[in-house]
Amino acid sequence: MSDQQANKEILPPPGSAVWCQTQTEVVQLKFEWTFQQFAFLKSFENWGDYYSAEFFHEQTPESKWTLHLIDQGSNMKVNLERPYPNHQLDGSVRVTIAMSNKKREKILPQKHSLPRYTQLPFCVYQIEKKVLVESECFVNGKLTIDCEIESFIPKRPVILSGKPSTVADFHEKRFNNTAQLIAQLEGLYETMKFSDITINVHGQILHQFKAHKNILAARSPFFAAMFEHPTKENLTNQIEVEDVEPAVFNEILRFIYTGKVSESTMGKMSVGILAVADKYLLEQLKSECETQLIHRMSAENCLELLLNTHEHHPAFYLRKYAVEFFRQFSGEVMATDEWEKAEQGHPELCLTILKELVKSLVKINFEC
C-alpha cells in the first residue's frame, strides 16, 4: 500500500448512516546503553551479564522495558525484557538493535517484529564477539547499544453518525505536520523574513544576524526574560554578543529555529556549542553536546574538555567522564602535542588536572 493510500481518509460505506473508524498509533521509543567496562577486557574473555536501567515512553509509562546483555562464550546476545518475569506482550512491537560507531552511525543492525502475546524475555540481538571486536563498535573501550522500539497502540474507535465523512468531527482530527512545520521554519531561518531584531556577534570580525523575538523567546528562557521587560535590547531591537564566535552562534540560531544541528557540526564545534547552549538555557542542545563529546572522547581532545570544564561546570557528567578517561589513559593523553603545548602555556592548569587525578585515585583506593 502506498503512503498516499495509507494516509487517505477512510470513507463510509455507501448508504451508511452510522460507521466506525479504528486506527492504530505508533509510539517510537529510543534508548541508548553505553558500557564503559569493556575498556579493560581482552578480545573474547567472559564479558559478564548486565541489565540496563528501566526505560519507557512518556505516552505509555506503564510499559517499562529493560535490556539484558548475556555472555555466551564466543557469542553475545541481548534480550528484551520487562521488569517483571514471564510477561506476555499486550500489543505488537517492532524492535531494532544496532551498535554505534565512533561517527555515531548505527551499524550491524538486527530487526524483530514481535506479535501480541509474545513471551518475554525474547532475544532481539545475537552476534559473534569476534565480529564486534573487529568492527568499529568499540570507541575508546566503550560499547554503545542503540535500541528502538515501535509499539502499535490501537486508538479508541470513533463512531460517526449522520455527517459526511469529510466534515464529521473535523475539529478532533489530528494532523501530523511535523515535517512541514520544520521545513517552513528552516525557510524562515534562511530568509529571516519579517525579522524584528538584530544580533551583533563580535568575534574576530563583526557579524550581524537577523531574528524574530517571538521565536527566540519561545525556544530560550534567556531570551524570554530579556523580551519580557523593557531592557535595552528589547527597546533598541539590538543585541550585543561579545563572547561567542559567529560560526558557533549561527549553529545556535539554526537549532533555535529548526531543532537540528548536523553531525559534522557537532563533531567540530561541540565544545563551543555546549558553552553557548548553557548560556541561553537550551537544555536539549546542551544534553546532546555532552553526549556527543563523551562518545567522541579521545586522547587528543580529553585535555581540551578538562580545560574547558571546571569543577563546578554545569556539564557535570562530561567533566566526570573526562577525569575518568584521563585516569584510565593518562599516558596516552600526556603523550599528545596538546598536553605538551598546555604544559608550556598553562602549567598551572596541568598541575590542577594531575591533582584531580590523584584525588580520584585516593577515593577509589579508599572505597576498595
Q: What's the pTM? A: 0.53
Whether the pLDDT of residue 213 is over 90: the answer is yes
Nearest to residue 203, comparing CAs of 133, 163, 250, 162? 250
The C-alpha cell at 266 is 557537532
The CATH 2.60.210.10 portion of the chain extends over 24-154
pLDDT, position 151: 85
Cell of 298: 579521545
Q: Which one has a higher pLDDT value, 170 or 90?
A: 90
More confident residue, 323 or 112: 112
Residues of the chain with CATH 3.30.710.10: 176-296
pLDDT digits (tens, 9 = 90+) for 282-339: 988 888 888 788 777 888 888 878 777 655 555 667 777 788 788 778 788 888 888 8
List the CATH code of the domain at 176-296.
3.30.710.10
Cα R_g (the chain), whole angstroms: 26
pLDDT score of 74: 83
* Residue whose grid cell is 580520584: 360
Q: Give the pLDDT of residue 326.
A: 81
Q: Which CATH architecture has domain 24-154?
A: Sandwich (2.60)
pLDDT of 50: 85
pLDDT at 154: 65
> 130: number of CA atoms within 13 Å, CB side?
1
The dihedral built from the CA positions of residue 294, 297, 301 and 302, taken in this order, carries a sign that is positive
Buried residues in 51-90 as b, exposed as e (16+ CB within 10 A)? ebeebbbeeeeebebbbebbeeeeebebbbbbeeeeeebe
pLDDT of residue 170: 45
Sign of the torsion angle spanned by Cα atoms 301, 302, 306, 307: negative
What are the angstrom distances between the C-alpha of 159 and each of 42, 170, 197, 216, 231?
Answer: 62, 13, 49, 42, 54
Contact 251, 273 (CB under 8 A): yes
Q: What is the mean pLDDT of residues 199-205?
A: 84
Mean pLDDT of the region 211-229: 94
Let me know: does 146 contact 99? Beta carbons within 8 Å. yes
pLDDT in tens, 23-55: 667 888 888 888 765 654 545 567 778 888 888
Which string of DSSP letters, residue by residue, matches 222-258?
HHHHHHHTT-HHHHHTEEEE-SS-HHHHHHHHHHHHH
What does the mean pLDDT of the chain come to?
Answer: 79
